[in-house]
């Protein structure tokens, strides 16, 4: 594992890079509001151990209750720059993300995100994305009719029954919106909260799952199998 520095115009940002042995397998990880993808490090390492090269940009922690358009655009741009840096040519990429990171990935996969009525977020599709792994998907940005019509790649997604930030209804909406066009494998994890999906959750978070470590091991194995399908 290494930390690399990438250019975004006149600014620079860090990304965690874990290189796998398979020259044809790549993944991008889109972190949630906390901004540090290494809180999901065992998942990223499991992907790399299976041969997949993983890049995961770091971001400042989101401090507002509601994410802004500029914050979404920044994350989408830097995810694309990270892919540009490590993926040769037009090789395909698996996108993995948690929480608000899933919003950005869905937009990059062809979804039209909206901040509100008449306020679209202009995020270009990235044709290199071939499949998505979404943890606690934040789909409230895609409530407008047809907002997800452009998504044409298979999705594996988990929601937790105890998640009060992105409750199961958000994942269920995603499945309903896409099920006639693409495969959406929706997993509903009993007792999981929003931060159960992080190997290193924020401090002072009360865990609601009976066995988080066993669940995360199962999640990582299933995510790896999906990414390598």
User: Cα separation of 63 and 197, whole Å?
Assistant: 20
What pTM does this model have?
A: 0.97
**Could you read off the pLDDT of 181-228 as tens digits, one per residue?**
999 999 999 999 999 999 999 998 999 999 999 999 999 999 999 999
**Residue 208 in contact with residue 192, Cβ under 8 Å?**
yes
**Could you read off the pLDDT of 154-183 as tens digits, one per residue?**
999 999 999 999 999 999 999 999 988 999
Is 90 exceeded by the pLDDT of residue 90?
no
Residues across the chain: 229
Number of domains in the chain: 1
Q: What residues pair up with 158 in beta bridges, in sequence order?
A: 135, 187
Q: Whole domain around residue 16: which residue ranges?
A: 2-227
Is residue 133 classed exposed, middle or buried when 0-12, 13-18 and 19+ CB atoms within 10 A define those classes?
Answer: buried
CATH number, domain of 198, equals: 3.40.50.1820
């Amino acid at each position: 594992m290494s930390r690399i520095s990438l250019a975004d115009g006149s600014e620079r940002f860090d990304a965690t890079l874990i290189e796998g042995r398979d020259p044809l397998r790549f993944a991008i990880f889109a972190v949630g509001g906390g901004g540090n993808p290494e809180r999901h490090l065992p998942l990223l390492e499991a992907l790399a151990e299976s041969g997949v090269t993983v890049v995961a940009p770091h971001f400042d922690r989101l401090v507002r209750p509601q994410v802004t358009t500029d914050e979404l655009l920044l994350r989408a741009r830097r995810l694309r720059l990270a892919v540009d840096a490590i993926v040769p040519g037009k090789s395909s990429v698996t996108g993995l993300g948690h929480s608000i990171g899933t919003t950005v990935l869905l937009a990059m996969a062809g979804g039209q995100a909206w901040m509100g009525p008449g306020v679209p977020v202009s995020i270009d599709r990235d044709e290199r994305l071939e499949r998505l792994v979404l943890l606690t998907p934040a789909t409230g940005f895609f409530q407008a009719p047809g907002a997800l019509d452009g998504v044409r790649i298979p999705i594996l997604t988990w929601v937790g029954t105890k998640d009060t930030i992105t409750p199961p209804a958000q994942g269920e909406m995603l499945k309903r919106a896409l099920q006639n066009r693409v495969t959406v494998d929706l997993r509903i994890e009993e007792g999981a909260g929003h931060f159960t999906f992080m190997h290193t959750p924020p401090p002072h978070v009360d865990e609601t799952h009976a066995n988080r470590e066993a669940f995360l091991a199962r999640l990582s194995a299933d995510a790896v199998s999906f990414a390598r399908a």
